[in-house]
Amino acid sequence: LMIEAMQAVLLIRVKNQQLNAKVQQDAPKVLFADSVTASHTSILVYDLAKLIRQNGVDIGGNRLFAWLREHGYLVRRKGGTDYNMPTQRSMELGLFEVKETVITHADGHTSVNRTPKVTGKGQVYFVNKFLTRAV
């Protein structure tokens, strides 16, 4: 009975060490996710591609744009002002925001430039999506 109790204690200690090692191993990822989620700065899709590439997935900005359109995160209809803009679904998920910049041209008329930017929540969402899928 004493031997069984000691074996159980030993087993618990080994399991505890394994869990502690896992926590240490995951700490940088958790820290990254927390800092990005808390970050109030949104980034360009090209910068998101760099972020994903830094995490070991070979993708560039143009291919990421194509992937986002293909999977329904960005509008794929060409010719309209909505092309490459976030879909309703991705806006509702809080993955993107649209930055509008007013441009004054030489002849005096103005136009509005709209740029999709990936929110902190979106950055974590897409990095996780690419890291968990079989590439």
Q: For the segment 93-121, what is each residue's pLDDT rounded down to a tens digit?
A: 999 999 999 999 999 999 998 999 999 88
Distance CA 81, CA 77 (A): 9
Closest CA to 133 of 67, 61, 44: 67
91 or 41: which leads in pLDDT: 91
d(CA 97, CA 117) in angstroms, rounded, equals 5
pLDDT value at residue 98? 94
The pLDDT, as a whole number, for residue 16 is: 86
pLDDT of residue 28: 61
Look up residue 124 and give its two tokens: 């974590």
Cα–Cα distance measured from residue 14 to residue 10, given in angstroms and rounded to the nearest whole number:
6
Sequence-distant (≥ 6) Cβ neighbours of residue 63 within 8 angstroms: 49
Tell me what pLDDT residue 134 has. Answer: 47
Structure-model confidence comparison of residues 41 and 89, the more confident one: 89
pLDDT tens digit sequence for 72-87: 999 998 877 789 999 9
Q: Is the dihedral of CA 19, 23, 26, 29 positive or negative?
A: positive
Report the distance separating Cα 68 and Cα 60, nearest Å: 12
Tens of pLDDT, residue by residue over 21-51, are: 877 777 666 656 665 655 568 999 999 998 8
